[in-house]
Structure 1
Amino acid sequence: MTPLRTLVLVLGDQLDLDASAFDEFDPSQDAVWMAEVAQESTHVWSGLARIALFLSAMRHFAAALQSQGRPLHYRRLDDPDNRGTLADELQAALERLRPQQVTMTAPGDWRVWQAIKSTAARAGVPLSVRDDRHFFTTVREFAAHAKKRRSLRLEYFYRELRQRHGVLMREGGPEGGQWNFDADNRQSFGAEGPGPLPARSRFEPDEMTREVIQLVQARFASHPGALQHFDWPVTREQALQALDQFIEQRLPLFGRYEDAMWPGEPWLYHSQLSAALNLKLLNAREVVQAAESAYRRGHAPLQSVEGFIRQILGWREYVRGIYWTQMPAYAEHNSLNAERDLPAWYWTGHTEMACLRDAIHQTLAYGYAHHIQRLMVLGLFALLYGVRPQQVHAWFLAVYVDAVEWVELPNTVGMSQYADGGLMASKPYIATGRYIQRMGGPCATCRFDPEQRVGDGACPYTTLYWDFLMRHESWLARNPRTALQAKNLARVSASEREAITQRATAIRRGDVGVAPAPKR
C-alpha cells in the first residue's frame, strides 16, 4: 500500500476546488479529509438554515471532489461512529490514515484553528497552513498596516487596498475624484415604499439538499429557525448565478437604498452573496471585478459600485485583520461593562416593538437580515439595553446563514456593541427610534412613538437612547464624534431624567415591549 503523503483538511467554509491547500495535490499519494460534526452546530445554538446550508454545501463539494478523482475521506453527521467533535474525528483519521503531513488553507475560526493545531501536535504530524487566496490581503499585511498607525480606521485601509490592487482607480486617483460616495447613497424609499422589486436568486433544493433538510429537522429539532424557505446557493455554479443576477438586476440601485428598510421586504437591493463568499463558493476578487466591470460598461452608477466594493475590498478585509490580530482576547472585550442577559424574545420575536418583531421573524424564517437591520435594529437595541456583548455575539453567530466567526465577531463586538472601546470604529452607533422610522422601519404599525422618550407610548429605543447618554455621559462628551449627542443632555431636566431612568428600568424588567407568546 502506498503511504499517504499529504492529508488535505477542508473545513465547511473552505469549499473551493482551487484553494491553496490543493496546490501540488497528487491523487496518487494525497487525499482530502472533511467531517460534519455536531459540535459545529451546538457550540452556539445554531439556527436550522445555517446548519442546513453548511451541510448541504459540504456534501455538494464532496461530490465535486469525487468527480475530479480526488481521494476523499468524508465523515457524515449521521454516520453511526461519528465522534461529534472536529478534534476527535481528526485524531481518529490521523491514527487510521497515518499521513506524512497535514495541509490546509488558513482557517477562519480561532477555536477551530486551536483544535486542529493541538490535534496535529498530539499526533506528531507536521501541519502546513497556507494563505487563503479568497482575500486581497494576508493577516501579516494587515498587521504591518496597523503597526504604522496610532488608531485603526477602515477608510485608510480601504484607500490603501484600492491603490494597491488598482480597483476603481483612474490616473493614480480614485474614480470620480473621491474615495467615498456615501453622500449620494443611503436614501430611504419614502412614504410610497420601494415599489416593484427585482426577484432574488432562488435555488430549489435538490435531492441531496432535501436529504440534509430532513436530517437537520430530525437531529436539531429544538434549534431556532425554519427550513421551509430554504433556497440558498449550495454549489459553485449556483453561487455564480446568484452573482450574475445581483450584478444585472440589483447592483444599479444598491447604493441608493443600501440602508433603507421596508416592512415585509427582506431582500430589497442587497446582494445576498455573503454566505457564498464566506463558504468560499465565490472569490472576493471575482465579485469585485464583476461589480467594477458593471460600472465600466455603464450598467451601474459609480455610487452603487463603490459602496458595494467598499463592503468587500474594504470592510470584509478590515474585520478579518482585526479578528486575527486581536484574538483570543478580542472575544472577551466589554468596554461598556454591559452585563444584562439577551432578552429571551430575541429567539422568538415575541415583542411589541414592530421593527424588532419584523427583523427577528425574518431572521428566523430565512436565516437572513440585511446589514442595517442587524446593526441599527437588532444590534442597536442590545447596545442600548446593555446586553453582555458575548451573548449578542453568540446570537448573531447562531442565527445567520452567512455567520462565520472571523467576520461576525468583530462586526458584533466592535462595530455593533462598541465593546472594544473604539479599536474598530470611532464611535458607538447609537440612535433613537426616529432613525429607524426615517429609514423605512415599520413604525406606523407600532404602538410606540419614536418621538417620545417618556410615557406609556414612548418608543423603547428612544427611552434607552437617552438612558444610554446619561449612563455614559462623561466619555461620550470626550469623543468628538459623540460630543454633540452628549451635549443634548443639557436640555433634559432633572425630573425628566428621573422619568427616563424609571421607564428604562421598566423596559429592562420586561414590563414594556414584551408581547405574550402566541397561543398554540
Structure 2
Amino acid sequence: MVRLVLVLGDQLSTNLSALQKTDKTQDVVVMAEVTGEATYVPHHPKKIAFTFMAMRKFAEKLRGQGWTVAYTQLDDADNTGSITGELIRRATEHDATGVVYTEPGEWRLIEALGDMPLKSHSLPDTRFIATHQEFDGWAEGRKQLRMEYFYRDMRRKTGLLMDGDKPEGGKWNYDHDNRKPAPDQVDFAGPLKFAPDKDVLNLVDARFGDNFGDLHPFWFATDAEQAQEQLTHWIEGGLQKFGDFQDAMLNDNRFLYHSLISFYLNAGLLDPLDVCQQVEAAYRAGQAPLNAVEGFIRQIIGWREYVRGIYFREGPDYTSRNALGHDRKLPAMYWGAETKMNCMAKAIGQTQAEAYAHHIQRLMVTGNFALLSGINPAEVHEWYLAVYADAYEWVEAPNVIGMSQFADDGIIASKPYISSGNYIHKMSDHCGACAYRVQDKTGKDACPFNLLYWHFLDRHRERFKGNPRMGNMYRVWDRMDEERRETVLKEASDFLDRMDAGKVV
C-alpha cells in the first residue's frame, strides 16, 4: 500500500525521520511550491528563491536515491496552492492510504496537517539534539528558564568541548571575551557565492518582485554540498576571529567574520551536530581559539535548541503575547523608507539587500528601536519572519517575542534588552556617519536611542523598578534634575509623534 511522505522546504535532509521511516520502493515523496507558504507573510524574494531552488535540487537528489517524487512547481496548472491541498490531490492520484510527515516547525502547519481528511502520522524531528520531552523535563519546576543551564546539559549530552565531565578550559562560557568593538579592517573575504537557478529567479521575480527585498544578486548555496563548501571556507578563514568580533558592526562590511550558515542549517542542508563537531575539530587541531569555538557552538546547541524548546512548550498563542501593551504601528523605515538614523538605515538596508543581518543588528538595532518605541510585537514578529532568509517561526518567534521585545513577560530574558546610543557607538562605526549625535542626550541633534531609552524606562517604571538588574538604571534617572527629565520625555514624545505622522526621523 502506498503512503505519501511529505517533505517541506525547511526539511531538506536525507536523514529526515519521515524518509527514514518509510519505504522508497513503494511510498511517494510529496514536495510542493505553493502560494500559501510563499505568501502567509510577504517573504523576502531571496528567501522564496532560496527555498524553491533548494527544494528542486533536493527532489532530484531523492530521485537519484530511488525515491518516487511527486513535485509541484509554483506555476503548475494543477497546483492547489496549499500543502494540504497538494497532499489530498496526490493521495487521489496515487491511491495512497495516508501521509507520513516530520513535525513542522510552525504551529500554523501543524494544525493544518492535523485537520486533513487523510490518515496521517507525525514523526518527531530528529535533526534536533533535544527532544520536546527532554526540554520539558529540564524546564519542569524551574522558576526561570535560563538558556545557560540548558546549554550545559547539551554540552554534556553531545560531549562537545568537554574534558571528561568538566568543560574544556575550565569554564562553560567565554562570552566576556567575545565583545570587542568593530575592528579597523576585516581580513576575511566573506561568504562564498554560488550560481543560481535562473528559471527560479525569473519565476520569483515575476510573482514576488514587489515584495520588500532585492532578489539580485543571488548567491546562496542551494544544496548540501555547496553549504558544506561555505562551512569549510568559514572554518578556515573566519572562525579564528569570529568570537572576538561577533557583536561588531561596520558601515562598509556586512558580514565581518560571521559564518552565514543559518540559512542552510534551518533549511536542513547542514546538520547542527555535524557542524559543531567540525568546528570543535578545528579547535582540537589548534586552528581556532576556544572563545570563538565555544561561542559558536553555544549559539547552535545552546541558543538554537533552547528557543525551539520554548516555542513548542509555550504553544500556538506565543506569537500573540504583548506583556508590555505596546501598540504603535511598525514605521515605514522598516520597509525601506528614508531614515536619518544611520544604524537603522544600515541594518535595514542590509536586510533589504541580503535577507540577512547578524544577531546584534537584529537585537540591539532594529529590535532595540522597536522595543524602545513601543511597537506592537505582533508587527515586529511578522516583519522578522518576512524579511530574513533563515526565519522560520520556531526560531524567529522566541527571538523576537521573547528575547527582543520582552512580550512574553520574561520567559526568555531576565530584563528587556534595551540600550541607549552608547552601545551602538561602542560596537560600530555607525555613529560617526549619522545625522544625529550620539554624544547629545537632548536637543535637536540628540541620538533618538538616548531619548527613547529613558522614555521606555519611565513609562514602564512600575513593572521594572523592582528588577534587580535594572535598579541602577532607575537610580541614574532619579538623580537627574526634574527639568532635564521633563526635557528628555518631551523630546522623546515629539520624536515618536513625528515618526507616527510619517515624517522622516
TM-score, length-normalised on structure 2?
0.97
Amino acid at match of 1:189: A
Q: CA deviation at 1:393?
A: 0.5
Q: Which residue of 2 aligns with 1:203?
A: 194
SS at match of 2:203: helix
What one-letter code is carried by the residue in structure 1 that aligns with 2:30?
W
Alpha-carbon distance in structure 2 between the residues aligned to 1:438 and 1:212: 42
How many angstroms apart in 2 are the aligned matches of 1:55 and 1:339?
35
Report the counterpart of residue 221 of structure 2 in structure 1: 233
Given candidates 93, 97, 101, the residue that maps to 1:100 is: 97
- Aligned to 2:70, the other structure's residue is in SS state strand
Worse-superposed segment, 244-253 or 476-485: 476-485
Structure 1 CA distance, aligned partners of 2:125 and 2:190? 33
- Match of residue 73 from structure 1: 70
Residue in structure 1 matched with residue 82 of structure 2 by the alignment = 85
CA–CA distance in structure 2, aligned partners of residues 195 and 270 of structure 1: 11
| Alpha-carbon distance, 1:92 to partner | 2.3
CA contact 2:363–2:404 (8 Å) conserved in 1: yes
Aligned residue number for residue 10 of structure 1: 7
Q: Aligned equivalents of 2:19 and 2:187: distance in 1?
A: 45
Q: CA, structure 1 residues 408+511, in 2 after alignment: closer, same or farther (shift >3 Å)? A: closer
Query: Partner residue of 1:278?
Result: 266
The Cα shift of 1:28 comes to 2.6
Question: Secondary structure at the residue paired with 1:256?
Answer: helix
Return the alpha-carbon distance in structure 1 between the equivalents of residues 393 and 111 of structure 2: 14
The answer to whether the aligner puts 1:323 opposite 2:314 as a matched pair is: no
Match of 1:375 among 363, 376, 379: 363
Write the distance in 1 (CA, Å) between the matches of 2:31 and 2:186: 45
SS of 1:448's equivalent in the other structure is: coil
Name the counterpart of 2:455.
467
One-letter identity of the residue aligned with 1:287: V
Are the structure 2 counterparts of residues 473 and 24 from structure 1 closer, same or farther at C-alpha, using a change threshold of 3 Å? closer
Q: Does 1:149 align with 2:142?
A: yes
User: How far is the alpha carbon of 1:513 from its aligned partner?
Assistant: 12
With structure 1 as the length reference, what TM-score do the two structures score? 0.94
Equivalent residue of 2:122, what SS? strand
In 2, are the aligned partners of 1:355 and 1:442 still within 8 Å (CA)?
A: yes
How far apart are the structure 1 equivalents of 2:445 and 2:413? 33
Counterpart in the other structure of 1:483: 471
Say if 2:318 and 2:408, in contact at 8 Å, map to a contact too: yes
* 1:87, distance to aligned residue in structure 2 (A): 2.4
SS at match of 1:33: strand
Contact 1:451 1:459 in 2 (8 A): yes
The one of 473, 497, 503 equivalent to 1:509 is 497
Q: Secondary structure at the match of 1:144?
A: helix
CA contact (8 A) 1:507 1:513 kept: no
Structure 2: how far apart are the matches of 1:85 and 1:77?
10
Is residue 170 of structure 2 the alignment partner of residue 173 of structure 1?
no
The alignment partner of 1:375 has SS state of helix
Q: How does 1:256-275 map to 2 (within 5 A)?
A: 256-275=244-263
Q: Tell me if structure 2 keeps the 8 A contact 1:352–1:514.
A: no
Displacement of 1:264 after TM fit? 2.0
**How far did residue 52 of structure 1 move?**
0.8
1:474 Cα deviation from its structure 2 partner: 2.6
Paired position in structure 2 for 1:396: 384
**Aligned mate of 1:447, from 435, 444, 447:** 435
User: Does residue 350 in structure 1 map to residue 328 in structure 2?
Assistant: no
2:155 corresponds to 1:158: no
Q: Report whether the alignment pairs 1:437 with 2:434.
A: no
Per the TM alignment, residue 128 of structure 1 is displaced from its structure 2 partner at its CA by 1.9
Could you say what secondary structure the match of 1:163 adopts? helix
Paired with 2:99 and 2:307, the residues of 1 have a C-alpha distance of 28
* Residues 307-322 of structure 1: pairs in structure 2 closer than 5 A: 307-322=295-310
Residue 233 of structure 2 aligns to a residue whose secondary structure is helix
Structure 2: gaps spanning 5 or more residues: none
1:354 Cα offset (Å): 0.4
User: Which stretch shows the higher mean deviation, 403-412 or 68-77?
Assistant: 68-77
Q: Would you say the 8 A contact 2:182–2:429 is kept in 1?
A: no
- Alignment pair present for 1:64 and 2:57: no
Of 178, 188, 196, 2:181 maps to: 188
Residues 305-349 of structure 1: CA deviation (Å, up to 9, x unaligned): 000000001000000000011111211111111000000110114
Equivalent AA in structure 2 for residue 7 of structure 1: L
- Structure 1: state its 5+ residue gaps: none
RMSD: 1.6
Decide whether the 8 Å contact of 1:194 with 1:262 is kept in 2: no
Note the C-alpha offset of 1:194.
2.5
Aligned partner of 1:128 among 121, 133, 142: 121
Q: In 2 relative to 1, CA 101–84 (structure 1 residues): closer, same or farther, beyond 3 Å?
A: closer
| Identical columns (%) | 44
